[in-house]
């Protein structure tokens, strides 16, 4: 068994696969930010919800 060949196939599949979920629209991003709960600890990105909500349209467009 050639393990290297299996790894190469998996990498090729990952890089050539189409995304399963379409890109979110700008209004969908805005609605998601509006639904973010305040007073919770930051997620893995370490950005507090208060900062995201205070960013307004600038943050909305950057996230989109």
**Share of residues in the chain with pLDDT > 70 (%):** 70
* Rounded Cα–Cα distance for residues 49 and 38 (Å): 6
**Between 10 and 56, residue with greater pLDDT:** 56
Res. 29: pLDDT tops 80:
yes
* Complete DSSP assignment for 34-57: HTPPSSS---TT---HHHHHHTHH
Res. 9: pLDDT tops 60:
no
- Contact indicator for 62, 26 with CB cutoff of 8 Å: no
pLDDT grade for 54, boundaries at 50, 70 and 90: confident
- Contact indicator for 51, 11 with CB cutoff of 8 Å: no
């Amino acid at each position: 068994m050639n393990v290297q060949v299996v790894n190469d196939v998996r990498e090729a599949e990952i890089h050539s696969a189409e995304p399963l979920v379409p890109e979110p629209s700008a209004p969908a991003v805005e609605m998601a930010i509006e639904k973010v709960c305040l007073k919770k600890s930051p997620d893995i990105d370490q950005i507090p919800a208060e900062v995201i909500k205070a960013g307004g349209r600038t943050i909305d467009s950057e996230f989109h």
